[in-house]
Amino acid sequence: MQHVRASGMAIPHVQKSNDVSFVFVSTIAVQMANFIPMKREYGAMKVALNAYASQLAHRLAKDGVRSNIVSPGPIYFEGGFRDQVKQGSPELYKRASRLSALQRHGTAEEVANPTVFLASPAASYITGTNLRQEGGALTQIN
C-alpha cells in the first residue's frame, strides 16, 4: 500500500507539472507460477502494483503524467540476496545465473539505467509499460 499512499499524495502536485513520470519497481516474479515458496506473496503483491501502475497511466495521461513499471529478474549486488546465495550455495547461484539467455545475473546499473530513461523526458511517449530487465530469462512473447 505504500506505493498507493505515496503516489496518491503526489498526484495533486504532479498534475500541475510538466514531464512527470512515476516509475514503479516490480519483479518478474509476477510471471512465475512456481516461485520460491517464501516469496509467493511477494509476487502476488507485485501483480497488484503492476495493475495499479497501469491504471495510473490511463487515469493521469490527460494530465501529461506517465506511469511505468520496471521488472528486474535476478540481479546481483554486493550484500544483496544473490550475494548471500553465492556465499552460502555457490552451485545454486551458478544454476540461477544460467536461467537467463545471457547466462549471468544482472547488475544494479542494468536496472537503474532503463529506470532513469523511463523517468526522463526522453521517454515522453511511453506510459503503461512494464520493462523487464531479466536477461531473457522469461520466454513469453509480449
- Residue 99 CA to residue 76 CA, distance in Å, equals 14
Give me the residues paired with residue 72 across strands.
133
Mean pLDDT (the chain, rounded):
89
Q: Which domains does the chain have, with CATH numbers?
A: 2-7+19-133 (3.40.50.720)
Name the one residue in this structure whose C-alpha cell is 545471457.
Answer: 102
Exposed/middle/buried for residue 46 (C-beta within 10 Å: 0-12, 13-18, 19+)? buried
Express as a percent the part of the chain with pLDDT over 70.
92
Backbone φ and ψ for 100, nearest 5 degrees, come out as -85, 150
pLDDT at 77 exceeding the cut of 60: yes
Query: Residues 18-27: what's their mean pLDDT?
Result: 91
pLDDT at 30 exceeding the cut of 90: no
Query: Tens digits of per-residue pLDDT, 116-127?
Result: 999 999 999 999
Which sequence positions are flagged as catalytic?
42
The pTM (predicted TM-score) of the whole model is 0.86
Express as a percent the part of the chain with pLDDT over 90.
59
Nearest to 133 by CA among 81, 86, 90, 75: 75
- Residue 115 CA to residue 135 CA, distance in Å, equals 15
CA atoms within 13 A on the CB side of 85: 15
3-state SS class at 65: strand
